[in-house]
Structure 1
Amino acid sequence: MNKKIAYAMVILGAALWGITGLFVQNLYGYGFTPWEVVGIRLIFSAVLIFTYLLLSNRSLLVIRLRDVPFFIGTGIVSIAFFNYFFFTVMEQATISLAVVLLYTGPVFVALISRFTFNEPFTQNKLIALFLMMIGCSLTVGFLPTGQLSIDFTTILFGIASGFFYALYSIFGKYVSARYHTLTITAYSMLFGALFLLPTSQLWTKASAFSDSGVLLNGLSLALFATVLAYAFYTFGLTYVESSRAAILSTVEPVVAIIVGVAVFSDILTFWQGLGILFVILSVLLTVKKRKGSTEETPNKYPQQISKAD
């Protein structure tokens, strides 16, 4: 396949992830809470993915019972909670801040993998950790003034989103060699949806779904910002090295910030802009391999774990 088309698919997938905040904020406007929006995203996405697999390739739905705990880890421990913290920061602060703090995920993967899988913590990763801390400090206003411009709880939620985001790669590593990426994504969404179905109590707002705006934003969040984003990204990943794909995927925060500024009037200061650049640079350093190294690059996205990696 033409490399340019593959690169375009990766960029398009990442860009679709970048518009997540557009649909999330719109759903807030209809009175939904962050936890309920997580429920909408996972339930709608699970239905779409399973419908597709049932119609196209049912063999991908076969899993071993012993692997269920790992899918519970990816779907509930990681996806459900990272989305909750991510969406809560969007509600309490801005889309721009939410996506920047979520982007601490790759560095958390590197840190956790050092102790879980005994992966080397390279000089690049150490520098990336330093840049991430500086970048986040600039973004939340602690630098250069020494005073936080964002509520401390919101900052903790943002960092938690990055941490739980990273856990997908940790749980997913145990099953990525045995299953197709579609299988991992489908069952992760399913277990997340099964957890959110009773806990989000969306049935109490069943009447809200008669509003075409709610359905449009809910389906768009699931179809465009989740399922199609995954499909385009994974399709491109088949022909592009995972480390290069991770670099191309940095268009996600750029798109998210553009959405925040253009649609929701997010305001960015010079120091916050500099902080965002530092965080993105920390991601690039995290995925950069040393010369001659065969070290596997940590996955940035939940959907990125696959045999192709």
Structure 2
Amino acid sequence: MIVPKQAVALTLALLGSIIMVWSPVSYINWVGVFLAFCSCLSFGTELIMLGSKFARKLDNVDSITVTTYLTTAATISLLLTGFLTGKFNVNVSPKGWLAILVTAVFSTVISNILFFMGLREIGSSRTSILSTLEPVVSVSLGVIVLRESLTLLQTLGISMIISAVLLIYSVKPKKEMLIQEE
């Protein structure tokens, strides 16, 4: 059950994300916004399922095994989709394959293993709020590594997201609440 502080944190994180990507002078591709929102819904559904009784059977399975199963299932699904739509293409340059390999290792394998380890430790609600730091980290790395500029609105959005994460960590997890009630 979501407590009021969690609802406020979720609202702050959502508004912060919107403000962070909002640019009043540029064209907004609403199809892209809709697809990104659908991606968020899909990821949120995954978090809810992983935090529910449905996934309790995975409690004794380590993060590497869970990640292996999920990425294998995703690979099979993507291969089937690629073949069925005629969009599967292996004509990629060696540099392209290197980029794919690096992306697969860092943003898929390592991040998923760490994600599932964290999910087991702090639960799905806190993990989902903490995941809102991903765009903050991405924008920060863009500023540091790629020398991108940061607008005042983006800074405000980042501040709201960080505030949401701090707020969610001021809420005691269910386990701690239950221990204190006994």
TM-score between both structures, scaled by the size of structure 1 = 0.44
Equivalent residues of 1:140, 1:150 under 8 A apart? no
- SS, match of residue 261 in structure 1: helix
Map Cα deviations across residues 169-193 of structure 1 (whole Å, 9 max, x no partner): 2222322335333332222111111
Following the alignment from structure 2 to structure 1, what is the Cα–Cα distance between the partners of residues 47 and 116?
15
Instruction: Please say if 1:293 is aligned against 2:171.
Output: no
Match of 1:113 in 2: none
Instruction: Please say if 1:216 is aligned against 2:72.
Output: no
Q: Structure 1 residues 256 and 282, CA, compared in 2 at 3 Å: closer, same or farther?
A: same
Q: Structure 1 residues 255 and 129, CA, compared in 2 at 3 Å: closer, same or farther?
A: closer
Match of 1:171 among 24, 45, 49: 49
Equivalent residues of 2:143, 2:149 under 8 A apart? yes
Q: Structure 1 residues 284 and 188, CA, compared in 2 at 3 Å: closer, same or farther?
A: farther
Instruction: Please say if 1:162 is aligned against 2:40.
Output: yes
The 5 Å alignment of 1:19-30 reads: none
Q: Structure 1 residues 195 and 279, CA, compared in 2 at 3 Å: closer, same or farther?
A: same
Instruction: Please say if 1:205 is aligned against 2:89.
Output: yes
Q: CA deviation at 1:264?
A: 5.2
Instruction: Please say if 1:124 is aligned against 2:2.
Output: no
Q: Structure 1 residues 168 and 294, CA, compared in 2 at 3 Å: closer, same or farther?
A: farther
Following the alignment from structure 2 to structure 1, what is the Cα–Cα distance between the partners of residues 29 and 153?
17
Q: Structure 1 residues 272 and 203, CA, compared in 2 at 3 Å: closer, same or farther?
A: closer
Match of 1:279 in 2: 161
Q: CA deviation at 1:269?
A: 1.1
What is the aligned length? 168
Map Cα deviations across residues 29-51 of structure 1 (whole Å, 9 max, x no partner): xxxxxxxxxxxxxxxxxxxxxxx
Equivalent residues of 1:139, 1:276 under 8 A apart? yes
Q: CA deviation at 1:232?
A: 5.5
Match of 2:72 in 1: 190
Match of 1:151 among 11, 22, 29: 29
Amino acid aligned to 2:110: L
- SS, match of residue 28 in structure 2: coil
Equivalent residues of 1:136, 1:275 under 8 A apart? yes
Following the alignment from structure 1 to structure 2, what is the Cα–Cα distance between the partners of residues 134 and 229?
25
Following the alignment from structure 1 to structure 2, what is the Cα–Cα distance between the partners of residues 133 and 248?
12
Superposed CA RMSD? 3.8
Match of 1:242 in 2: 122
Map Cα deviations across residues 229-255 of structure 1 (whole Å, 9 max, x no partner): 3445667x59x9537x95987764443
- SS, match of residue 165 in structure 1: helix
Higher relative CO (Cα under 8 Å, sequence separation at least 6) belongs to 2
- SS, match of residue 89 in structure 2: helix
Match of 2:20 among 111, 136, 139: 139
Match of 1:257 among 136, 139, 145: 139
Following the alignment from structure 2 to structure 1, what is the Cα–Cα distance between the partners of residues 149 and 37?
21
Gaps of 5+ in 1: 1-119, 296-309
Q: Structure 1 residues 165 and 206, CA, compared in 2 at 3 Å: closer, same or farther?
A: same
Match of 1:270 in 2: 152
Q: Structure 1 residues 168 and 248, CA, compared in 2 at 3 Å: closer, same or farther?
A: closer
Equivalent residues of 1:138, 1:271 under 8 A apart? yes
- SS, match of residue 177 in structure 2: coil
Q: CA deviation at 1:263?
A: 5.2
Instruction: Please say if 1:181 is aligned against 2:63.
Output: yes
